[in-house]
Amino acid sequence: MKMVAPWTRFYSNSCCLCCHVRTGTILLGVWYLILNAVVLLILLSALADPDHYHFSSSELGGDFEFMDDANMCIAIAISVLMILICAMATYGAYKQRAAWIIPFFCYQIFDFALNTLVAVTVLVYPNSIQEYIRQLPPDFPYKDDIMSVNPTCLVLIILLFISIILAFKGYLISCVWNCYRYINGRNSSDVLVYVTSNDTTGWMEEVCGEEDQVLLPPYDDATVNSATKEPPPPPEDHFTR
């Protein structure tokens, strides 16, 4: 009986909407690429015209600045890095290069870990939600309605929402991982077939060469040996007395 590893049961070549994992990874990379490009354009617009995106301390309900130049530059650098990672994942899935998908997969793991920490924080410190809502600006939409909700129900709703997000992110991680395994296994099988065919051809040529050298002696030696060879003795008649 063949033993199968437990994690191989989750391996599949298909993903959502009956697409192949390679197609799903390409679509996912393009989607993230578009989102980060839009964010980069917004950040560049805010950096070029800071007065248009300026929020006063009274609007924010605190004595801090919404976004200074240093934070803006850091956000732009992160957006450019994310665009590069998404482009690498899309190119790697399209050209079937597994190594190019690794940075995007690592980003997914990091994002999943951060969301898991948020869920754990909400579960361990449920009162932090109320404190965070109180720190929001006074004109924040539905702030009074959210504050009027029972704290226990609010925690359960937020945990349910985060759980759905984590499940969806985990499914996307599995799609990218299956794409990596598919491309890596496909490249390994191609290399194995190529090496096996070359080894078989070389072995046949070597055997044929040895046969030519051993089984096919020179013409002169073959003629001399056949001429000097004595004829076989006549068979004995076992029926003669």
pLDDT in tens, 218-229: 555 555 555 555
Task: State mean pLDDT over 155-182.
Answer: 91
Query: How does pLDDT run across 36-53, given as a tens digit for each residue?
Result: 999 999 888 888 876 665
Instruction: State the Cα–Cα distance between residues 236 and 233, nearest whole angstrom.
Output: 9
The pLDDT of residue 216 is above 70: no
Highest mean pLDDT among 69-73, 119-123, 236-240: 119-123
Distance CA 103, CA 121 (A): 27
Tell me the backbone φ, ψ of residue 83, rounded to 5 degrees: -65, -40
> Picking from 86-95, 121-130, 209-218, which range would have the lowest pLDDT averaged per residue?
209-218
What pLDDT is stored for residue 137 in this prediction? 75
Q: What is the pLDDT of residue 133?
A: 80
pLDDT at 33: 95
Indicate the average pLDDT of the chain: 74
Q: Is the pLDDT of residue 22 over 80?
A: yes
The residue with greater pLDDT, 205 or 158, is: 158
The pTM score is: 0.66
pLDDT for res 1: 44
State percent of the chain over pLDDT 90. Answer: 29
* 57 against 95, higher pLDDT: 95
What is the pLDDT averaged over residues 170-192? Answer: 81
Q: Which residues of 143-179 are buried (b: 16+ CB within 10 A; e: fewer)?
A: eeeeeeeeeeebbeebeeebeeeeeebeebebbbbbb
pLDDT at res. 210: 44
Residue written as token pair 């096996």? 196
pLDDT value at residue 226: 53
Region 190-208 average pLDDT? 47
Q: Locate the domains of the chain by residue range.
A: 22-60+67-95, 98-188
pLDDT above 80: residue 55: no
Q: Could you report the per-residue pLDDT of 97-117, keeping only the tens digit for each? A: 989 999 999 999 999 999 999
The reported pLDDT for the residue numbered 20 is 82
Checking if the pLDDT of 204 tops 50, the result is: no
Rounded to 5°, angle at Cα 216 from 215 and 221? 115
- Residues with Cβ within 8 Å of 123's Cβ and at least 6 positions away in sequence, in order, are 155, 159
Q: How confident is the model at residue 72 (pLDDT cuts 50, 70, 90)?
A: confident
* C-alpha to C-alpha distance for 191 and 196, rounded to whole angstroms: 8
